[in-house]
Amino acid sequence: MQLIAMVAIYLAQNCLAAILIKRCLVRWPRTSHRASRIKKYWLIPFTVLSLLPVAGALLPDSPVKFALQAAGNIWLGFYVYFGGMLAFLLLAGLIVRLVSGGRLARRWHGGILCLSLVASLVLLVYGLHHAQQTVVVSYDLKLDKPAAADVDEMNLVLLGDLHLSVNSRLATTQRMVELVNAQQPDAVVIAGDIFTSSYGGLSHPEKYAEALRGIESKYGVYAVYGNHDVEEPLLGGFPLTPIPQAFRTGDMERFFDDCGFITLADEVVTLPNGVQLAGRIDGEKAGDGTTNRMTPAELLRDIDPARPVFVLEHEPKEFKALGESGADVALCGHTHAGQIFPGNLLVPLFNENAWGYKRLHDVDTYVTAGMGYYGPPMRVGTDSEVTVLHITFKQGGQQDAR
């Protein structure tokens, strides 16, 4: 039922867009013979392109399915901007007409259509390119707790949302590893969503595992699973099956092992420098068809409150409960900082911390924009990032902890 509803909603949106395009073309004055042919046959390519995401979601796993998915994701990136801009400009024209009491000149319909088309193509090309340009974002943090004896500082790298999938590029992952290693990290943590709800869609996963094994970290690379580290069909980025059908596969778990990740699933480890690192199961999709996981109080009940406590989890939630349970730092991903405009303006409406640093409920919270992309392989108004925390601990080490 969920599958049928999602497909119906997507097709309805495309039908609405087709109606708006048809309206503009009908009201466009007579043009050249070539333009007249476009008016006559535009619906054919529009229909084919609109069906790419549907075919990519519904076909069984195969090279054809994954190729259609890759092309469909690019189409979605264009369609989001084209459809939205076309609807906005036509609505603005209607408002002007109602306010002025006049009519919108016929030539303006052609102008609106052309502007929407050209602007969307420009944004698509820019977004595709910009998504591959990784930046390093750094923060300084002072903690009023001591680490182990003779340890005053820590360099920690936070990664997230690699979203390895049909649109991934190996060179981008390799470049990310180079940027991480250039930070000379004491520890690297990855806040989930290594995959995009499919293992089979990633071409040559062994090459990506080899690249990720190249991360150099003094204390190791720690990771948690995200809500997309499960197998489930997607349409336009939305799951077509309910949570009880979302399971993590053995291939995904072996990939984490092949990368050399130390996976934390509602577990706490103490790093050699005395920092206590807790990793949470994802609260949306645990990977076993449920949403079951420990509460912050259950997870952190045996911590040493005199030592720094870091919590790594995918989604930036439950900061208040984390603070009440003794967490000092929360390290998250999931939001992509909105990924494409205007998403970067909307995600702060639904998250206490949508991106960057905020101190909330006595917890220093960090949310990375992540490395990858979800759905359209684009970034507009946000960056693919490697997040670095330069942490200074309270002086004194072992003596102050007594």
Closest by alpha carbon to 376, among 130, 189, 85, 91? 130
Average pLDDT over every residue of 150-162:
96
Domain presence at residue 356: yes
Average pLDDT (207-234) is 97
Question: What pLDDT sits at residue 34?
Answer: 58
Q: Yes or no: say if 307 and 199 are a contact pair by the CB < 8 Å rule.
A: no
Q: Residue 263: which of 290, 286, 281 has the closest Cα?
A: 281
Domain of 340: which CATH number? 3.60.21.10
Tell me: do 100 and 153 sit in the same domain: no
* Residue numbers of the domain that contains 110: 2-130
Q: Phi first, then psi: what are they for 33, rounded to 5°?
A: -60, -40
Beta bridge partners of 358: 365
Q: 97 and 193, same structural domain?
A: no
399 confidence band (pLDDT: 50, 70, 90): very low
The pTM score is: 0.93
Tell me what pLDDT residue 109 has. 77
In a domain, 379, yes or no: yes
Query: What pLDDT sits at residue 394?
Result: 93
Same domain, 42 and 189: no
- Give me the chain's average pLDDT, please: 92
Q: Residue 62: inside a domain, yes or no?
A: yes
Q: Identify residue 26 by its one-letter amino acid code.
A: V
94 found inside a domain:
yes
Tally the C-alpha atoms within 13 A of residue 338's C-alpha that lie toward its C-beta. Answer: 19
Which of 107, 130, 153 marks a domain boundary? 130
If one counts the domains in the chain, the total is 2
pLDDT above 50: residue 401: no
147 vs 325: CA distance, rounded Å: 19
d(CA 208, CA 198): 15
Instruction: Indicate whether 183 belongs to any domain.
Output: yes
Residue 71 lies in a domain: yes
**DSSP strand pairing (261-263 vs 238-239):** unpaired
The secondary structure of the chain, three-state, reads CHHHHHHHHHHHHHHHHHHHHHHHHHHCCCCCHHHHHHHHHCHHHHHHHHHHHHHHHHCCCCHHHHHHHHHHHHHHHHHHHHHHHHHHHHHHHHHHHHHHCCCCCHHHHHHHHHHHHHHHHHHHHHHHHHCCCEEEEEEEEECCCCCCCCCCEEEEEEECCCCECCCCCHHHHHHHHHHHHHCCCCEEEECCCCECCCCCCCCCHHHHHHHHHCCCCCCCEEECCCCCCCECCEECCEECCCHHHCECCHHHHHHHHHCCEEECCCEEEECCCCCEEEECCCCCCCCECCCCCCCHHHHCCCCCCCCCEEEECCCCCCHHHHHHCCCCEEEECCCHHHCECCHHHHHHHCCCCCCEEEEECCEEEEECCCCCCCCCCCCECCCEEEEEEEEECCCCCCCCCC
User: Six-digit token pair at 397?
Assistant: 């080490």
Whether the predicted pLDDT of 31 surpasses 70? no
Residue 180 confidence (pLDDT) above 80 = yes
Check: CB of residue 46 under 8 Å from CB of residue 21.
yes
Average pLDDT over residues 19-31: 78
Pair type for strands 276-279 and 267-270: antiparallel
23 and 124 inside one domain: yes
d(C-alpha 391, C-alpha 154), whole Å: 5
Q: 16-30, 34-48, 197-211 — which one is most confidently predicted on average? A: 197-211
Query: Could you tell me whether strands 234-235 and 221-223 are parallel, antiparallel, or unpaired per DSSP bridges?
Result: unpaired
Displacement of CA 149 from its chain's centroid (Å)? 38
Same domain, yes or no, for 227 and 336? Answer: yes
Encode pLDDT of 276-285 as tens digits.
999 999 999 9
Q: Does one domain contain both 53 and 108?
A: yes
Interacting residues of 77 by C-beta distance below 8 A, sequence separation 6+: 124, 127, 128, 340, 375, 376, 377, 378
- Mean of pLDDT values over 193-204: 96
272 preceded by a cis bond (ω within 30 of 0): no
Question: Whose structure tokens read 């601990």?
Answer: 393
The better pLDDT of the pair 237, 349 is held by 349
Q: Domain check: are 30 and 59 in the same one?
A: yes
Domain annotation covers residue 402: no
Answer whether residue 27 shows pLDDT above 80: no
Residue carrying the six token digits 């072996």: 254
- Give the largest Cα separation in the chain, rounded: 86
Claim to verify: residue 66 and residue 199 sit in the same structural domain: no
User: Both 272 and 352 in a single domain?
Assistant: yes
- Let me know whether 167 and 298 are in one domain: yes
Q: Give the end of a domain, one of 96, 113, 130.
A: 130
**201 in the Ramachandran plot: left (φ > 0), alpha (ψ -120 to 50) or beta?**
alpha
Shared-domain flag, residues 99 and 172: no
Asked if 81 and 145 sit in the same domain, the reply is no
Which of 130, 148, 170 is the last residue before a domain boundary?
130
Buried b (16+ CB within 10 A) or exposed e, 173-191: bbbbbebbeebebbbbbbb
Asked, for residue 221, whether it belongs to a domain, the answer is yes
